[in-house]
Amino acid sequence: MLKMDAGALTAFLARDFPQVCDDFLVERADEDGLTIRLRVDERHLRPGGTVSGPSMFGLADVAVYLAILSRIGPVALAVTTNCSIDFMRKPAAATDLICDVRLLKLGRVLAVGDCLIRSDGVEAPVARASLTYSIPAT
Amino acid sequence: MLKMDAGALTAFLARDFPQVCDDFLVERADEDGLTIRLRVDERHLRPGGTVSGPSMFGLADVAVYLAILSRIGPVALAVTTNCSIDFMRKPAAATDLICDVRLLKLGRVLAVGDCLIRSDGVEAPVARASLTYSIPAT
Amino acid sequence: MLKMDAGALTAFLARDFPQVCDDFLVERADEDGLTIRLRVDERHLRPGGTVSGPSMFGLADVAVYLAILSRIGPVALAVTTNCSIDFMRKPAAATDLICDVRLLKLGRVLAVGDCLIRSDGVEAPVARASLTYSIPAT
Amino acid sequence: MLKMDAGALTAFLARDFPQVCDDFLVERADEDGLTIRLRVDERHLRPGGTVSGPSMFGLADVAVYLAILSRIGPVALAVTTNCSIDFMRKPAAATDLICDVRLLKLGRVLAVGDCLIRSDGVEAPVARASLTYSIPAT
């Protein structure tokens, strides 16, 4: 049922999103969902050394997008219509973030996924997010 | 670490929320979270026989509230400050709803939990919700 | 551009939602949006006499639904797909709630509206909500 | 009641957020709220030339933050705890975004604001967002 595995998703990112593809590493892609790593770099940080809100939003956004593509293939141009995100703890300083995604719905028109984001090596999540994508008619 | 188990939560509901306590059944309460059943009744239904949005909201709201009390005891008067809810599928007609809660954060001031709601006996979730509660200083 | 005015929306509620139509009063419907009153009654209250969360959710849900129908007519069967709601203040005890809706987007597939809810006669809002409806193809 | 006006907020951004201060221009700060401009640049764009989701999230986040500071001064270290954002239309290509903020609640512990984001010169909003900030005890 998986149309794109971790390797295919990585190749897709490199080709279609060259400006951000170095930020993200697809660590797992299977029927339960995906794991994506944000390779934290200077440009993701706020003063104080923790990852910024927009960087965490971007991670969740890419992660759900890739979870959808893993099922439908690199075909349609899905767009984010809604995101709700809770910032629960301060990320560890200068540490990669690990984002686990579950694809909860993949309909004809809408897809919904949710994410838990952790600092690499830390159990307690720093953020959770849920996103809705609209899938254009083909 | 659990200050109230399923029995204690049920007794708490019966005493403090007599008007809704017959709606809800605490099926599980452990360190991972809770499972709450909504005993679906005429008053929860919309025309067509499916459970209404406000009833699903109410289920998620009670479920996260009880998850917090299971950890801190029946002490503080926590209040909901935010809820984000995605309605993903139509519930099965005239069927109980099962709500699984994870308590993702229990801070001094704020607590965050998320829920997956399913029709009893059906795997695909009908809704997901995340809620924030504010915990008053004691 | 308005396909249903306050009178038409009221008649629609009475015919299609007899079980809740006494709860709601359409006070205004124009091209900027709607104002809906929740006639607060015993069954909307929590212990302490304030309006419950599910009642406020239900008010916001109905309000955006009617705002959509005011533009497209009583045709399609729109369904709520997402709601985000912030509870900001305690409502005044035993006081009607007034909900002002803005329809921010009315697309072919999705509609988005947001609401401010106040206790009648009080300026500071008790809640805000934003809702997305999916509009089925006709 | 305003502790920081547009000039003071701009100076604060330049001093405390040098890495993003060129992105944002405070166009208005009064008791009703703020207007912030995102000076759109290459780094805010996705393939196709429209502003990216993370850039819009960042704009809403900064805008509500500044709305809070305009009232309480550059004192406390407020942190975002929740954001709900709806992406409703494609932004105009290579065009600044204008974000209007309303501060809906400024409590002792939590503040809530909402935003409408438009492409400069276009009436229909491209996004709406609501954010909660936690204000640390001083």
| Residue C16 falls inside a structural domain | yes
Chain C residues in contact with D86 (beta carbon < 8 A): 104-105, 112, 130, 132
> Which residues partner with C87 through β-bridges?
C127
Where are the strands (E) in A1-138, listed by range? Answer: 24-30, 33-38, 79-87, 97-106, 110-119, 127-134
Q: Which residue has the tokens 């009744």?
A: B41
Q: Which of D75 and B81 is assigned the larger pLDDT?
A: B81
Where are the strands (E) in B33-78, listed by range? Answer: 33-38
What's the gap between Cα B47 and its chain centre?
Answer: 24
**Interface check C104 vs D, CB under 8 A:** yes
| Residue C1 falls inside a structural domain | no
Instruction: Pick from D100, D130, D133 the residue to mutate for testing the C interface (most C CBs within 10 Å).
Output: D130
Distance CA A106, CA A108 (A): 7
C48: confidence class by pLDDT, cuts 50, 70, 90 = confident
Q: Which of B14 and C126 is assigned the larger pLDDT?
A: C126
What chains are in contact with A, requiring at least 3 Cβ pairs below 8 Å? B, C, D
**Interface check B80 vs A, CB under 8 A:** no
Chain B residues in contact with D84 (beta carbon < 8 A): 82, 84
Whole-number mean pLDDT of chain D?
93
| H helical segments located in D17-76 | 53-72
Domain that holds residue C54: 6-134
Q: What number of other Cβ atoms are within 10 A of residue B52's Cβ?
A: 20
> How much is the ipTM here?
0.94
pTM, two decimal places: 0.96
| Residue C18 falls inside a structural domain | yes
**pLDDT of C105-122, one tens digit each?**
999 999 999 999 999 999
From the list C86, C60, C96, the residue with the least C-alpha distance to D107 is C86
| Residue B85 falls inside a structural domain | yes
Region A105-130 average pLDDT: 97
| Residue B102 falls inside a structural domain | yes
**Interface check C35 vs D, CB under 8 A:** no
- The CATH number assigned to the domain holding A61 equals 3.10.129.10
| Residue D1 falls inside a structural domain | no
Instruction: Pick from D108, D128, D132 the residue to mutate for testing the C interface (most C CBs within 10 Å).
Output: D128
Query: Number of structural domains, chain C?
Result: 1
Judged on CB neighbours under 10 Å (0-12, 13-18, 19+), A79 is: middle
From the list B122, D79, D78, B81, the residue with the least C-alpha distance to C86 is B81
SS3 per residue for D69-121: HHHHCCCCCCEEEEEEEEECCCCCCCCCEEEEEEEEEECCCEEEEEEEEEECC
What are the distances in angstroms from CA B16 to CA A98, B3, B43, B60, D13? Answer: 41, 17, 21, 18, 49
Q: What number of other Cβ atoms are within 10 A of residue A71's Cβ?
A: 15
Residue D20: per-residue pLDDT: 83
C138: confidence class by pLDDT, cuts 50, 70, 90 = low
Whole-number mean pLDDT of chain A?
93
Region D71-92 average pLDDT: 92
Q: What are D39-44's contacts with CB under 8 Å, separation 24+?
A: D39/D96, D40/D94, D40/D95, D40/D96, D40/D97
| Residue A1 falls inside a structural domain | no
Region C45-51 average pLDDT: 81
Q: Sign of the C-alpha dihedral, residues A19, A54, B106, B34?
A: negative
From the list A1, A65, A62, the residue with the least C-alpha distance to A30 is A1
| Residue D80 falls inside a structural domain | yes
